[in-house]
Amino acid sequence: MDSALASEPAPDGDLYLRRTVSTAAKLLVVGHFAVGKTTFVGSLSEIRPLRTEETMTQAGASVDDLAGIEGKTTTTVAMDFGRLTLSDSLVLYLFGAPGQQRFTRLWQDMTHGALGALVLADTRRLEQSFDVMGLLEELGLPYAVAVNHFDGAPVYPEEEIREALDLLPETPLVTCDARDRVSSTRALISLVEYLQRRTVVREHV
Note down pLDDT in tens along the chain; length 205 residues: 433 444 444 444 456 788 899 999 999 999 998 899 999 999 999 998 875 554 544 544 444 454 554 554 454 445 789 999 988 999 999 999 876 566 667 767 888 899 999 999 999 999 999 999 998 999 899 999 999 999 999 999 999 999 999 999 999 999 999 999 999 999 999 999 999 999 887 776 6
Show the DSSP H helices in the chain as ranges. Answer: 2-5, 37-44, 104-110, 130-139, 158-165, 181-203
Crossing angle between the packed helical segments 181-203 and 37-44, to the nearest 10 degrees: 90
The tens digit of pLDDT for each residue in 52-76 reads: 554 544 544 444 454 554 554 454 4
Residue 31: CB atoms within 10 Å: 29
Residue 69: the pLDDT is 47
Residue 178: the pLDDT is 97
- Give, as one character, the DSSP assignment of residue 78: S
Residue 62: the pLDDT is 45
Residue 29: the pLDDT is 96
The tens digit of pLDDT for each residue in 163-187 reads: 999 999 999 999 999 999 999 999 9
Please answer whether residues 75 and 36 qualify as being in contact, where contact means their C-beta atoms are separated by less than 8 angstroms.
Answer: no
Model's pTM, two decimal places?
Answer: 0.80
**Cα(11)–Cα(36) distance, integer angstroms:** 24
| Tally of domains in the chain | 1
Domain at 142, CATH number:
3.40.50.300
Q: Where in the sequence is the domain holding 175, given as residue range(s)? A: 2-203
Residue 99: the pLDDT is 64
Please answer whether residues 79 and 97 qualify as being in contact, where contact means their C-beta atoms are separated by less than 8 angstroms.
Answer: yes
Residue 85: the pLDDT is 92
Residue 54: the pLDDT is 47
List % helix, strand, coil for the chain (3-state, nearest 5): 35, 20, 40
